[in-house]
Amino acid sequence: MNNVRLGTIGAAPPLADLSHTPHQAVEAMARFWEEKLKQVWPDEPDLVLLPEICDRYYDHSPEQCVEFSLARQDRIRDRLAEKALRHHCYIAYPSLRCLADGTRRNSVEML
């Protein structure tokens, strides 16, 4: 039997800086999770589990949430995937995805 080492982060996302543009808000969120991931790297996890819809500002209005999601595209996911590759592990990345047909999905991607 193979042992699997899990890393978990229970942090809630930060509050939004209302002076940020949507693109600046995406960058701030990416930096936030990159900093939080530094807590688990010393343990050399095989899989890191992030909180549900981890890259959403909970104080955003529904309209701001959509703006943020459109600005985010795959930027945060791609940065987390780079970290997973660098640290030889997987990251379970739960996010709210906006699809081409206008629907939104709460889903987890394995990076």
For the entire predicted model, the pTM comes to 0.89
Q: What is the DSSP annotation of 88-108?
A: T-EEEEEEEEEPTTS-EEEEE
pLDDT at 27: 95
Which structure tokens are listed for 50? 């992030």
What's the CA gap between 82 and 94, in Å, rounded?
16
DSSP-derived 3-state class of residue 6 = strand
Interval 59-110: pLDDT, tens:
988 888 888 988 999 999 999 999 999 999 999 999 988 788 888 888 999 9
* pLDDT reading at 53 higher than 80: yes
* pLDDT reading at 1 higher than 80: no
